[in-house]
Structure 1
Amino acid sequence: MSEAQLFISTFNCGKKTPTNAEFTKHLNEKLPEEASDLYVFGFQEVTSILDATDENVVNKKLIWIADNLITCLENRYEMQSFAVVSIAHFGAVGLIIVSPFISKIHKIYKSRGYPVGTFCTNLKGGVGVRLTYESAEFTFVCMHLNAGEKVQHMLRRNQDLYNVFSKLIFDDGWCVLKPDAHCFIFGDLNYRATGAFGLVPKGLDFDETENREGTENCDPAFIFKKDELSLLQKGGLILQDFEEPAICFKPSYKFHIGTKNYHRNRIPSYCDRILYLGYPESSKTPKYKAVAYDTITECLFSDHLPVYMIVNVSLTAPERIINDAGYLIDRTTQLNEFSKSYKAVGYSRYILRVSSFTTSMLGTLLYLSTTNRGRMVSLAFAILVYTLLKWKELL
């Protein structure tokens, strides 16, 4: 049976664009021995907040990153056939897909992005690319969900996840889930090691004391028992049909920048994840074969570590979990409010217009308050207003 090998990575860059040699140098050490069919790179906080409000600036920086990635891959495999398949971005969330077998790829669809940031800004959100490789269709979605360690933050992440799944519309008219297509989701999902606040069925939660110590005392097996995402998933509350390779690495967040020491004001957590739509147990098609799932521990210029996966995928798609109308197929009769419908909704275009306005307003405020030229403009405007008011008093 035909297979494709995928290399997928996700990296929250901490508002710094990874255009220096540090990222590609350490990435090179984790690449597979033989060239993969597809290389998928997801980024969050790939620019400063100000730059993230200007899509042209983000696009230029992602093109720069893509050029560096191409150079890295060509040098690694001594092949000149690597080419960019697609670059997509929304706010500071970016997605770059590269392949050495560009002739095997067709029907590329981008999403329009979807915001989940405060005041509908693009500071958080998702973006995706769907493509056909040989005979198989693949959907790749990079997300950055809302942060925080309180119960309301976890519930908002759940809602963010549903919003991205049901409102991130691609150029082919489908949302994230599409019949007869592979689906990979990844990014800074921001789920923390809180134990899910007891909101999962009894027997799935654990009652150990929190561990906020540094790397030397951070037991991944212990922390993983507290991981919100895995507990909510086991409880059937989110991502019921998605799978993830066994996690055998330490939490990817939060580090003191430039060190391997965890920040004591945050619970060490598996914020950065890569999941895929799985095959049912009864399926005769071989499941995904994860060759590697790990962090790039040497890359220290952010408070997150990059996470990567090397996986062999059958070109036969998983069993459908949605029907032709876009609704989730009910196999368990236990649907909850976050899994009833993944059908595209029309008002997402309205949300995108609102997001464009609020993001532009945020960008203007940041420009006027954080840049030298902006402060000069603000000062000149203030002097003008003051002068006009004084002149009015004299009349």
Structure 2
Amino acid sequence: MENLRLYVGTYNVGTSTPDIKLNSLLGLPDDHKTDKLQLPDIYILSFQEVKAQPQNMLLDALFDDPWTYACKELLDTFNYVKIKSVRLQGLLLNVYCLRKHLLNIREIESDYTRTGLSGMWGNKGAVSVRLSIYGCSLCFVNSHLSAHDNQLKDRVEDYNNIIKDQEFHVEETTEIFFHDYVFWMGDLNFRLLEEYDQTPEEIERDIVKNELKKLFTFDQLRYVMRKGEAFSELEEKDPEFPPTFKFEVGTNRYDFKRRPAWCDRILYRVNPHNYENVTLKVDQLSYKHHPSYQLSDHKPVTAEFNIKVFSDYSERIVEFDKIVSWNQDEENKARYKITKDIPATKDDWIGLFKDNFSSLDDYVSYEYVSKCASPTPEKKSPMKGGSSKNEQKYEITFSELPNRCRGNYCLVYFSQSEDKVISVLGISNSFPIVKHDSD
């Protein structure tokens, strides 16, 4: 087994825009020097109350919302690729990984659950992303639960409705807690128990005196976990930071319209004995808030984890022949071979991407394998030991390219099931697209 490092973040942004640097929030240096920094392998970034007016939702359907764009632009400079983004009104969940892991990530899928207005409205609820990497399954959940001190029962009901409603299409991991690792984050909105009848001003005095442990004994989330009513399947490190809600926007002063509370949380679960002769494990490296961010009445919270994955796990891949160049004004072809028995589906496709693309959504053109690829004759080649290996090659044709397609590009082979479960099976070399001058 070997370690994979995850960086998990949650932030209720209160409809604000990211008009400040996000380096500190993501644990990244301002000078972009990483010589002495161990970069996380995967970033899981969750947001709540992202601006969700109709005109914004329409634009976000065509382009990245401001928070996704800002995070993607920053992480791109450290060689991360956005592998999945899912949004439900103000709820947003983005997953990024280092480029070197792309061919080891499989079966990416997302889901969402509405819990507002008894499941009719998406102002509250959950969005999730599941994937497999190096032989282990991971599930990430971002939820925004019912608000206010007196709605504890509603938060418990929200949680249990999310558990029941979320359903995935990958065998043996159809439910959230069937995965090897689960990370649950968000504005869970748990407050202090109503029996703790202190005023906001009295609670702030306890915070100033650093009596956080005494205050935390009245935390509603831990109360329902102990009773087995909600979140009891998960674990959480005790927060050593002060309550992250509610602040006067633009300051670090508590807003006494609400009692301070630890609304913003990150929990996890590991199923340690899912495989014979190995033990899966989570080591939490940090759990902290970021008080310098003052864009909303919440403070962002982040956590870092090491998880165990299989070090010798090898994924099946599609291997492209070297591409020298393509011509802007001609029909272009590429050849690839199946190196192992990879079951093809009718929805497999190959996308044309700019070299060093920053998102799996950023293809500039694509073709379906079932429509535009055909097998090519391939001679059997003798292998060591006297055996032979029959490798089937295919050729795919891109009949036309978008206008002004210049510079270096690459091809990416995607496996896609009928249920929209995506895997990246192959990436070609970088090659130029040129335009031949007319005589």
Amino acid at match of 2:139: T
- Per the TM alignment, residue 284 of structure 1 is displaced from its structure 2 partner at its CA by 7.4
AA at the equivalent of 2:148: G
Which residue in 2 is equivalent to 1:194? 193
Q: Which residue of 1 aligns with 2:393?
A: none
Considering only aligned residues, what root-mean-square deviation do their CA atoms show, in Å?
2.8
Q: Which has the higher strand share?
A: 2
Aligned residue identity for 1:239: F
**215, 218, 222: which is aligned to 2:214?**
222
Residue from 272, 294, 318 that aligns with 2:288? 294
Cα distance in 1 between the residues matched to 2:57 and 2:76 = 28
SS at match of 1:232: helix
Task: Give SS of 1:122's match.
Answer: strand
Q: Which of 22, 26, 32 lines up with 2:24 in the alignment?
A: 26
Aligned to 1:45: 49
Task: Return the structure number with greater helix share.
Answer: 1
Q: 1:61 to 1:176 in 2, by over 3 A?
A: farther
Change (3 A) 1:176 1:59: farther
Instruction: Name the counterpart of 1:265.
Output: 257
For 2:82, the equivalent position in structure 1 comes to 84
Cα 1:55–1:285, aligned 2, differ >3 Å: closer, same or farther?
same
The CA distance in 2 between the partners of 1:28 and 1:41, in whole Å, is 9
Give the secondary-structure state (helix, strand or coil) at the position aligned to 2:257.
Answer: coil
The equivalent residue for 1:169 is 167
Quick one: higher RCO (CA 8 Å, sep 6+), 1 or 2? 1
**Letter aligned with residue 73 of structure 2:** T
Q: Which structure 2 residues correspond to residues 294-373 of structure 1 after superposition, within 5 A? A: 294-315=288-309
- What is the rounded CA distance, in whole Å, between the counterparts of 1:180 and 1:123 in structure 2? 27
Once the two structures are superposed, what CA deviation does each residue of 1:66-123 show, in whole Å capped at 9, x if it has no partner?
3322332344xxx4x3111100011110000011122221110111x11111362111
Residues 98-109 of structure 1 aligned to structure 2 (within 5 Å): 98-100=96-98, 101-109=101-109
59, 65, 68: which one aligns with 2:67? 65
CA 1:301/1:122 → structure 2, altered by over 3 Å: closer, same or farther? same
When residues 175 and 254 of structure 1 are mapped into structure 2, their CA distance, relative to the original with a 3 A threshold, is farther
Runs of at least 5 residues in structure 2 that lack an aligned partner in the other structure: 311-439
Inter-partner Cα distance in structure 1 for 2:280 and 2:132: 20
Report if aligned partners of 1:93, 1:142 keep a CA contact under 8 Å in 2.
Answer: yes
**Alpha-carbon distance change, 61 to 194 in structure 1, aligned in 2, over 3 angstroms:** farther
TM-score by length of 2: 0.61
Deviation of 1:181 after TM superposition, in Å, equals: 2.6
1:41 aligned partner, one-letter code:
L
Equivalent pair of 1:272/1:307 in contact (CA under 8 Å): yes
Q: TM-score, normalised by structure 1?
A: 0.68
- Larger Rg: 1 or 2? 2
2:146–2:154 contact (8 Å) kept in structure 1: yes
The residue that corresponds to 2:16 in the other structure is: 16
CA contact (8 A) 2:166 2:176 kept: no
CA distance in 2, matches of 1:74, 1:127: 24
Q: Report if the CA contact (8 A) 1:115-1:122 is conserved.
A: yes
Give the superposition deviation at 1:168. Answer: 2.2
Query: 1:29 offset after TM fit, Å?
Result: 4.3
SS at match of 1:16: coil
Deviation at 1:278, TM superposition (A): 3.8
Between the aligned partners of 2:70 and 2:223, the Cα distance in structure 1 is: 38
- C-alpha contact 1:212 1:266 (8 A) present in aligned 2: no
Check conservation: 1:73, 1:82, Cα contact below 8 A.
Answer: yes
| 1:243 aligned residue (231, 235, 244) | 235
Identity value in percent: 24
